[in-house]
């Protein structure tokens, strides 16, 4: 039984999709005005792991994540580029938009995370947004004011149920930008009247562009073909006002609950500080990927529960690198040990419920408890320790247990979107390594320990580590 902490109800609930084993999941994506930073990477990774685990559980996941490619931030950056390069604002806007859409997909590739099943662009869904807005006007939940269209917050009686904020307290507790065209300071924009030279689309209210919140309502419901989503996700900073406004406008239109389960991940800081360009601690995924593999960054993300905040530092990256090497080393060792053994026959024998099977149950229990990834990661290290002990045991089920353990490791690594990445040794083949091991053994038998030590050191210098066990000398490649 999978339990998820639901931000809407503020408690863990058993996950029961609306339609059998089909899961309709939506997550808020990036706004393309810059390269993705580490916080974006965490969001992209977390929802990929959630998608993979749901599939592992037997659910058929339909996953949509939008791309916001029209927004104040994009236009502001385009305005600066237009001035610097002396080109029209609309031309600069297209240039920025396309550049950072490409950059986003480069970042996904660097992180080795696949895109969602559908990743719609806001600019490709303007017609549907205008239609949605008009329906809200027709129902009395929105109004046109001098070419701008606003949602009437006070007319939606359950506003604040997701964030826990009360309408009467919002004016004093939340900063709201003054807008002379609003009937009420709390109202939010569904359509923004275009300023001179800005990119715009024709509408019944005049040329303009959609507000941020309306994008997600329209694209999630359109591409998931549902008024009610099973899962809606995003960062904790989006709960208010973005997700609150999404829910309000969607439920005002459909008279149905917008999302059954809301999943919000914690934020990322840098050395204990909020990440910001003004603090000169803004770190992009590309910057980290220049120094570490995607596995190492993912391994860092796994250190904290998805709902918790996580603090990044370069020292922590060195720590997780060393930790991940233990898994790499074990997988290499298992592959070598099981290379010439009949794996299918081993798996048929079973393990009497030991090692691989019991660890898989522990992993499932961890992930079924609100996707507890750090606890699931601890199970993986438990397998590492158990396998290392098993290598030196005389257990009659030793080979089959190691085979099962490797199978479970592979399942866990796949769910965590991790791969093993033992680096190849420089200038030496496996056959040459085995040949050197045989020569070394002969030297030891002849009590020529000096030559045996020389061979060990020479292999070590080439990235090959030898381990003498009761079953003979095993070797592994150093990372």
Residues 264-275: tens digit of each pLDDT = 999 999 999 988
Rounded to whole angstroms, the Cα distance separating 96 from 81 reads 8
Per-residue model confidence (pLDDT) at position 350: 52
Whether 445 and 479 have beta carbons less than 8 Å apart is answered as no
Single out the residue of 125, 134, 138 nearest to residue 221, CA to CA: 125
Confidence of residue 176 (pLDDT cuts 50, 70, 90): low
Whether 464 and 428 have beta carbons less than 8 Å apart is answered as yes
Per cent of the chain over pLDDT 90 is 71
Strand positions, DSSP E, 321-412: none
- Please give the model's pTM, rounded to 2 decimal places: 0.86
Per DSSP, 184 falls in state: S
Q: Give yes or no for residue 117 having a pLDDT over 60.
A: yes
Rounded to whole angstroms, the Cα distance separating 302 from 16 reads 25
Per-residue model confidence (pLDDT) at position 173: 57
Per-residue model confidence (pLDDT) at position 432: 85
Per-residue model confidence (pLDDT) at position 236: 97
- For 307, 325, 457, 473, the CA distances from 451, given in Å and listed in that order, are 56, 29, 10, 16
Rounded to whole angstroms, the Cα distance separating 314 from 450 reads 41
Per-residue model confidence (pLDDT) at position 100: 97
Establish if 158 belongs to a structural domain: yes
Average pLDDT over residues 164-193: 83
Rounded to whole angstroms, the Cα distance separating 404 from 395 reads 14
Q: Which of 154-158, 168-172, 413-417 has the lowest mean pLDDT?
A: 168-172
Q: Are residues 322 and 179 in the same domain?
A: no
Rounded to whole angstroms, the Cα distance separating 149 from 207 reads 12
Per-residue model confidence (pLDDT) at position 238: 97
Exposure pattern of 78-108 as b/e (b: 16+ CB <10 Å)? bbebbeeeeeebeebbbbbbebbbebbebbb
Q: Give yes or no for residue 195 having a pLDDT over 90.
A: yes
Q: Are residues 201 and 148 in the same domain?
A: yes
Which of 265, 282, 299 marks a domain boundary? 265
Q: Are residues 205 and 333 in the same domain?
A: no
- Token pair listed for 125: 């869904």
Rounded to whole angstroms, the Cα distance separating 147 from 192 reads 7
pLDDT digit string (tens) for 394-410?
A: 877 788 888 888 989 99
Per cent of the chain over pLDDT 70 is 93
Per-residue model confidence (pLDDT) at position 449: 87
Per DSSP, 114 falls in state: P
Establish if 302 belongs to a structural domain: no
- Supply angle C-alpha 425, 415, 53, rounded to 5: 175
Q: Which of 151-160, 331-340, 359-368 has the lowest mean pLDDT?
A: 331-340
For the chain, the helix, strand and coil percentages under 3-state DSSP, each to the nearest 5: 50, 15, 35
pLDDT digit string (tens) for 30-89?
A: 999 999 999 999 999 999 999 999 999 999 999 999 999 999 999 999 999 999 999 999
Q: Give yes or no for residue 478 having a pLDDT over 60.
A: no
Question: Which sign, positive or negative, has the C-alpha torsion 274, 280, 281, 287?
Answer: positive
Per-residue model confidence (pLDDT) at position 155: 96
Q: Which of 1-15, 40-54, 96-110, 381-395 has the lowest mean pLDDT?
A: 381-395
Q: Give yes or no for residue 423 having a pLDDT over 70.
A: no
Average pLDDT over residues 288-303: 94
Whether 158 and 247 have beta carbons less than 8 Å apart is answered as no
Q: Are residues 375 and 257 in the same domain?
A: no
Q: Which of 38-42, 143-147, 243-247, 326-330 has the lowest mean pLDDT?
A: 326-330
Helix spans in 225-351 (H) = 244-254, 285-289, 294-301, 314-338, 343-349
Per-residue model confidence (pLDDT) at position 353: 47
Number of structural domains the chain divides into: 3
Establish if 291 belongs to a structural domain: no
Q: Are residues 398 and 440 in the same domain?
A: no
Q: Which of 234-243, 322-331, 425-434, 458-467 has the lowest mean pLDDT?
A: 425-434
CATH of the domain at 56: 3.40.50.620
Average pLDDT over residues 286-296: 91
- Token pair listed for 133: 């807005």
Q: Give yes or no for residue 427 having a pLDDT over 70.
A: no
Q: Are residues 173 and 238 in the same domain?
A: yes
- Supply angle C-alpha 317, 319, 460, rounded to 5: 110
Q: Is residue 353 left, alpha or beta, with left meaning phi > 0 and alpha meaning psi from -120 to 50?
A: left
Neighbours of 313 (CB within 10 A): 13
Establish if 354 belongs to a structural domain: yes
Q: What is the mean pLDDT of the chain?
A: 91
CATH of the domain at 365: 1.20.120.640
Which of 231, 265, 299 marks a domain boundary? 265
Per-residue model confidence (pLDDT) at position 275: 87
Per DSSP, 223 falls in state: H
Per-residue model confidence (pLDDT) at position 479: 46
Average pLDDT over residues 450-465: 84
Establish if 297 belongs to a structural domain: no
Q: Are residues 34 and 112 in the same domain?
A: yes
pLDDT digit string (tens) for 318-354?
A: 999 999 989 988 998 998 888 877 766 666 555 544 5
Which of 244, 265, 286 marks a domain boundary? 265
Q: Are residues 240 and 108 in the same domain?
A: yes
- Token pair listed for 198: 């800005």
Q: Give yes or no for residue 130 having a pLDDT over 60.
A: yes
Host domain of residue 465: 430-477
Q: Hunting for tokens 């750090």 — which residue is that?
A: 374
């Amino acid at each position: 039984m999978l339990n998820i902490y639901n931000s809407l109800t503020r408690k863990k609930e058993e996950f029961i999709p609306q339609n059998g084993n089909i899961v309709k999941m939506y997550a808020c994506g990036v706004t393309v005005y810059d390269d993705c930073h580490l916080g974006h990477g965490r969001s992209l990774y977390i929802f990929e792991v959630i998608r993979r685990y749901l599939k592992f559980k037997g659910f058929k996941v339909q996953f949509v994540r939008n791309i916001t490619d029209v927004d104040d931030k994009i236009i502001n950056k385009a305005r600066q580029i237009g001035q610097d390069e002396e080109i029209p604002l609309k031309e600069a806007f297209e240039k920025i938009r396309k550049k950072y859409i490409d950059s986003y997909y480069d970042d996904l590739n660097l992180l080795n995370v696949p895109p969602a099943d559908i990743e719609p662009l806001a600019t490709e869904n303007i017609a549907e947004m205008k239609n949605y807005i008009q329906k809200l006007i027709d129902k009395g939940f929105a109004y046109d004011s001098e070419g701008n269209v606003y949602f009437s917050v006070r007319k939606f009686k359950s506003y604040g149920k997701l964030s826990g904020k009360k309408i009467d307290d919002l004016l004093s507790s939340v900063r709201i930008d003054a807008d002379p065209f609003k009937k009420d300071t709390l109202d939010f924009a569904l359509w923004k009247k275009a300023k001179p030279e800005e990119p715009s689309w024709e509408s019944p209210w005049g040329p303009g562009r959609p507000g941020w919140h309306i994008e997600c309502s329209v694209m999630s419901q359109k591409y998931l073909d549902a008024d009610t989503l099973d899962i809606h996700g995003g960062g904790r900073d989006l709960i208010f006002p973005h997700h609150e406004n999404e829910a309000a406008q969607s439920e005002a239109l459909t008279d149905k609950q917008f999302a059954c389960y809301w999943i919000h991940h914690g934020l990322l800081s840098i050395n204990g500080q909020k990440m910001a360009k003004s603090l000169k601690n803004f770190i992009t995924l590309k910057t980290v990927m220049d120094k570490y593999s995607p596995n190492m960054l993912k391994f860092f993300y796994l250190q904290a529960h998805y709902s918790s905040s996580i603090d990044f530092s370069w020292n922590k990256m060195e720590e997780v690198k060393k930790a991940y090497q233990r898994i790499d080393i074990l997988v290499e060792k298992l592959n070598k040990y099981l290379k010439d053994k009949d794996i299918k026959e081993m798996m048929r024998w079973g393990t009497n419920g030991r090692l691989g099977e019991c660890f898989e149950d522990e992993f499932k229990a961890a992930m079924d408890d609100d996707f507890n990834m750090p606890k699931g990661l601890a199970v993986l290290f438990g397998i590492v320790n158990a396998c290392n002990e098993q290598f030196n045991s005389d257990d009659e089920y030793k080979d089959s247990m190691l085979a099962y353990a490797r199978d479970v490791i592979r399942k866990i690594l796949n769910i965590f979107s991790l791969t093993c990445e033992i680096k190849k040794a420089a200038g030496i083949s496996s056959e040459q390594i085995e040949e050197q091991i045989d020569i070394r053994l002969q030297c030891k038998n002849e009590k020529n320990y000096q030559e045996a030590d020389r061979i060990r050191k020479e292999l070590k210098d080439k990235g090959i580590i030898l381990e003498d066990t009761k079953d003979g000398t095993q070797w592994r490649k150093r990372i």
